[in-house]
Amino acid sequence: MKMIGLIGGMSWESSAEYYRIINQRVRDRVGPTASAPCLLWSFDFAEIEALQHRGDWAGLTARMVDAARRLEAGGAEVLLICTNTMHRMADDVQAAVGVPLLHIADPTAERIKAAGFGRVGLLGTAFTMEHGFYKGRLADRHGLDVIVPGQEDRATVHRIIYEELVAGKVLPASRDAYRAIIARLVEDGAQAVILGCTEIMLLVRPEDSPVPIFDTTALHAAAAMEWALSG
């Protein structure tokens, strides 16, 4: 198997899910004692979060590039950024290394298109929902029509991520809030919903949505497993 490099710790709650999903899938595919060769660079998310909310994307890019280079030097043959938001600098990270970066939006979009959906709702941090780097890739590369919640709902989704989910808090009231926001996306025409933050899968389950949900964490991790077993 090929060596997977994980850029994680943003937050470690979702990075742990990446490690679990990748290894469970390798075990299921290869055998009961098999596991995936992995390297993990784990950030202190408190530092990352502070830079995000200050808007220091140049500083964040420098840190991400440094992590990617360290993983490549350690033997990683493919890289994953274990967070949707930090794919804002995916192109810069890819340009700085000689191994492929598996973009989280691509396996998500491919699965959505294979299911026959064209108009999707997107939940994530305010950065992911409001900036163009993520929606643009889904639209330009994959032809998806992406809609996001209204301003108040975006603020609620963002607050729950940063105040609760990254700290491992999964609250029934927040699940209810997400259910209501998903319902409004469906009213606006969403045929499916992307869980576009790697922590949302801790809160939202398939039964919380009247339309199919696409969990970027699980889809990204599965794509890594397929790559590690290829060739």
Q: Which residues are the active-site residues?
A: 83, 197
Residue 229 exposure: Cα atoms within 13 Å on the Cβ side: 18
**Token pair listed for 231:** 């060739």
- Whole-angstrom CA distances from 70 to 1, 56, 61, 65 are 20, 22, 14, 9
